[in-house]
Amino acid sequence: MFNKFFKIALIIAGTCSAFLPSYAVHQSLVKNAQEQGEELVGSIAATMVARADVNVTRALGMLSELALQGVNSCDSDDIFAMRRMVYEQFLVQEIGIVDSAGNIKCNQFGDPANFYENSRGLRSRTENISIKMVKRVGSSELRSLLTWDLASGYSLGAILPGEALADDVIPEKMRGKGVALTLLDDGTILYMAPEQNIATAELPFDERIFSSSLSSSRFPFHVIVMAPYDVIWEDFDSLYNKAIFSAGFIGLVLWLLILYALRPKKQRTNEIEEGIEAGEFIPYYQPTFDVQTGALMGCEVLIRWRKPDGTILPPGAFIGLAEATGLAVPMTRSLMINVVDEMEDLHEGRPSLKLGINLFDDHFENLDIIKDIKEIFGPSKISYKQLMFEVTERQPLSDIDRARIVIRNMRSLGAQVALDDAGTGHGGLAYLQQLGLDVIKIDKLFIDAIGTDSLSAPIVDSLISLAESLGMDVVAEGVEEPLQVEYLREKGVRLAQGYLFAKPLPVDVYKRLIEKMVPLSKRPEERRKEQSRVTQQALPKAA
């Protein structure tokens, strides 16, 4: 359950993290674009303020020079001085004596000029001067009028063109998109680039714009520069697409890797299928002994999964999955084929040797197992009589009636059928009565209880006497202590397996054990005799 939640959580986390590279690239590009955009408008604003400062300072220089020369009236010397000043440079177009109404009494040509005020006169932050926006009467052109107060109550005034206060420093890529404004501090627009009427200016901005505002440190004006996002983003667009695509690809690969790591059972089912095909399910053999005589009586076949890298997996690691995915039957078939390969030669001349084979619930669903037994053991040198099939009591059989038919078929071939893990489970006495079994294998749980005062201890006795009364053989499983052997011997139990004698053994070790402990019957006729004697012994007592 926890595992499942863990996997789901991992898949969700994996899916989210698949978007991480794209998200990171997006974030970093957007941040980069933002920085570049801010840098662009910031540097435009700084350049504009600097140039305007220089121009105003220059114009101011001219006015202060004229004031120093004592120019303060409309007499011909003063007009001449003003004219010379205008001729010497290109910045200031008109210089004149300005009256208190803001009109030029006389300019460098001696002409008067009347102005409409477009703004209040704003005083400089540092000098005794003011700047205001004006329109000459009869013209629509805005000009800035810079005035220098004189003691006479008049002022010296310089008319500056728009460009003087706002050089158009807007770069090509911002043309038609961005806007730069020079404003007097009262909000009057001195100049706007690209040059257009503020009333008709269409600002193409959505909320995503870069903007920068910078004030002149000396004069009462400031500059605002605004650029729409795509001015910068144009450069980033193709890079962005490529980067997002690559990052998305990396994310996808990451995600697939996570999915691969968490690949569901189906994948492992395939592994089991491949393992079956490759013959990776191999038998280990746990010997069974006669505790009365010490003779080796045979073995129980216990499955192992030998992976291609040589690791050996115990059945607990895979049989549940094999069962759940319907692969228990083919897996057992492949195991039995391996058993025949490894064991038939040794079993040919040793008819007393038994092979116990564990079955699954699936084997009792139909007669396929009978077909498999016939196909695999029929042509082999292992006789049916040497086989014992184990049906476990640990898990309930799903259909007792069908199981009975399968068991009857096994027994009619000559094989024995044992109740495995007797005492642990669901069947109990009912199984013993209904299924028609030959052997009871008493579970380790009860063997462990021998010699203790556990409640399980008396169950060994009842199972033994039950077997006796039904004419069945008993095998004690999981014998680990000599004391247990002693006890079983006293109770008349003959067969036992357990770590005390041997663990499940790989084939070559078990082969050597057989060769040492079970002599071959010498001649064919002797063998045949021996075989019939052993067979009669092994037949169920009730039969």
CB nearer to Ca ion: give 167 or 477.
477
Out of 420, 448, 473, 530, which residue is the one contacting Ca ion (CB under 5 A)? 420
CB nearer to Ca ion: give 112 or 314.
314
Q: Does 389 bind ligand C2E (CB under 6 A)?
A: no
Q: Closest approach of Cβ 411 to Ca ion, in Å?
A: 18
Q: Closest approach of Cβ 523 to ligand C2E, in Å?
A: 35
Interhelix angle 400-413/428-435, rounded to 10 degrees, is 50
Specify the stretch interacting with Ca ion by CB under 5 A; choose among 110-118, 198-206, 473-481, 515-523.
473-481
**Burial of 516 by CB count in 10 Å (0-12 exposed, 13-18 middle, 19+ buried)?**
exposed
Residue 193 β-bridge partners: 180
Site for ligand C2E in 340-359 (CB under 6 A): 358-359
Angle subtended at Cα 246 by Cα 243 and Cα 250, rounded to the nearest 5 degrees: 135
Residue 124 touches which member of ligand C2E, Ca ion, none, C-beta under 5-8 Å by kind = none
In this structure, what token pair is assigned to residue 244?
């997002």
Q: Does 303 bind ligand C2E (CB under 6 A)?
A: yes
Alpha-helical segments (H) within 162-224: 162-165
Q: Does 286 bind ligand C2E (CB under 6 A)?
A: yes
Q: Does 423 bind ligand C2E (CB under 6 A)?
A: no
Residue 493 CA to residue 218 CA, distance in Å, equals 115
Measuring CA to CA, how many Å separate 511 from each of 76, 342, 365? 137, 9, 34
How many residues in the shown chain lie near ligand C2E by CB under 6 A?
23
Q: Does 473 bind Ca ion (CB under 5 A)?
A: no
> Do the Cβ atoms of 314 and 304 come closer than 8 Å?
yes
Which helix (DSSP H) or strand (DSSP E) does residue 428 occupy?
helix 428-435
CB nearer to Ca ion: give 477 or 530.
477
Residue 107 touches which member of ligand C2E, Ca ion, none, C-beta under 5-8 Å by kind = none
Residue 300 β-bridge partners: 286, 356
At a CB cut-off of 8 Å and minimum separation 6, what does 405 contact?
A: 367
Q: Closest approach of Cβ 454 to ligand C2E, in Å?
A: 17
Specify the stretch interacting with ligand C2E by CB under 6 A; choose among 95-103, 132-140, 183-191, 310-318.
310-318
> Do the Cβ atoms of 37 and 162 come closer than 8 Å?
no
Residue 359 touches which member of Ca ion, ligand C2E, none, C-beta under 5-8 Å by kind = ligand C2E
Q: Does 315 bind ligand C2E (CB under 6 A)?
A: yes
CB-CB neighbours of 149 under 10 Å: 17
DSSP string spanning 447-462? HHTTTS--TTHHHHHH
Q: Does 314 bind ligand C2E (CB under 6 A)?
A: yes
Out of 144, 358, 416, 484, which residue is the one contacting Ca ion (CB under 5 A)? 358
For residues 462 to 501, the per-residue mask of contacts with ligand C2E, x marking binding by CB under 6 A and - elsewhere, is: ----------------xxx----------------xxx--
Q: Which of 379, 440, 451, 385 is nearest to 412 (CA)?
A: 385
For residues 380 to 399, the per-residue mask of contacts with Ca ion, x marking binding by CB under 5 A and - elsewhere, is: ----------x---------
Which helix (DSSP H) or strand (DSSP E) does residue 95 occupy?
strand 94-98
Q: Does 302 bind ligand C2E (CB under 6 A)?
A: yes
> Do the Cβ atoms of 264 and 19 come closer than 8 Å?
no
Binding site for ligand C2E (CB under 6 A): 286, 302-303, 314-316, 319, 332, 335, 358-360, 392, 420-421, 444, 478-480, 497-499, 504
Binding site for Ca ion (CB under 5 A): 358, 390, 420-421, 477
